């Protein structure tokens, strides 16, 4: 199915809330039709998210699916194409924190495998599936793969090294996709958020409030989903293709001050 108005189509994984929803809404505001995914069946949360997207005058669809279920990726991509058309922009945003925050010496294979399965393995093979379809479709402008990783790709947290490993691996995957797809005119980028106000950080909000006040983040504030969305929106522009492989830190200066 193609849109007679020529709108591009974006798929945002983990787009029901938080960073993913902020990104999806930003792309909708820029005129892209948007598909969002989540692990839950359609519910009030996903319906509210769709209402925010369609308020921008674009089409939007929610698809339940797990990023770590690689065997299910084709169904999800087929659904997007049937409802909206071929994917022009993939925003690989879905990710999880470790089920348990454990010291490096105490973490378990179960903890490690769960995080790697979603944050690295699942993200890699979903992007591979999208990229294969893009290449098979032939030359077309305005296509991009944008991976939302984390400052933890470089900064060590000893009580969640499994998470850091997943993001460091994802960063190398971005380089690989960028090098492989450059000649096909498909741009690939990595966006690295720092301390962002989300459900994932809600449990440690007081800790980070104090650290930010004490100068951990030069910008002296939390990052918001809209900060990440602003970076993704810029990278999704068709004229950004020659900047492929770029890494954008969305962290208020955290990493340049600390690394």
- What residues act catalytically? 163
DSSP conformation class of 120? I
φ/ψ of residue 182, rounded to 5: -60, -45
Those residues with Cβ within 8 angstroms of residue 231's Cβ, 6 or more apart along the chain or in another chain: 191, 248, 250
CA–CA gap between residue 57 and residue 32 (Å, rounded):
9
CA–CA gap between residue 122 and residue 128 (Å, rounded):
10
Nearest to 25 by CA among 43, 5, 51: 51
Distances (CA, A) of 165 to 92, 98, 105, 134, 161: 17, 11, 14, 29, 6
């Amino acid at each position: 199915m193609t849109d007679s108005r020529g709108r591009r189509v974006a798929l945002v994984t983990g787009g029901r809330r938080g960073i993913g929803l902020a990104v999806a809404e930003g792309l909708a505001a820029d005129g892209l039709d948007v598909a969002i995914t989540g692990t839950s069946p359609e519910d009030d949360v996903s319906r509210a998210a769709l209402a925010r997207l369609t308020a921008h005058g674009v089409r939007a669809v929610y698809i339940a699916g797990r990023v770590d279920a690689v065997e299910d990726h084709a169904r999800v991509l087929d659904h997007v194409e049937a409802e909206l058309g071929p994917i022009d922009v993939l925003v690989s945003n879905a990710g999880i924190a470790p089920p348990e925050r454990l010291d490096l010496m105490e973490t378990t294979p179960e903890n490690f495998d769960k995080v790697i399965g979603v944050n690295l393995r699942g993200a890699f093979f979903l992007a591979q599936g999208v990229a294969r379809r893009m290449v098979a479709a032939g030359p077309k402008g305005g296509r991009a793969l944008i991976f939302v990783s984390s400052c933890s790709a470089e900064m060590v947290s000893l009580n969640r090294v499994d998470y850091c490993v997943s993001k460091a691996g994802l960063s190398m995957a971005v380089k690989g996709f960028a090098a492989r797809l450059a000649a096909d005119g498909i741009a690939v980028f990595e966006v690295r958020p720092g301390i962002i106000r989300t459900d994932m950080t809600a449990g440690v909000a007081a800790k980070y409030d104090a650290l930010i006040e004490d100068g951990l983040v030069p910008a002296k504030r939390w990052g918001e989903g809209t900060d990440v969305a602003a970076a993704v929106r810029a990278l999704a522009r068709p004229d950004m293709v020659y900047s492929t492989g770029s890494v954008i830190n969305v962290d208020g200066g955290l990493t340049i001050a600390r690394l």
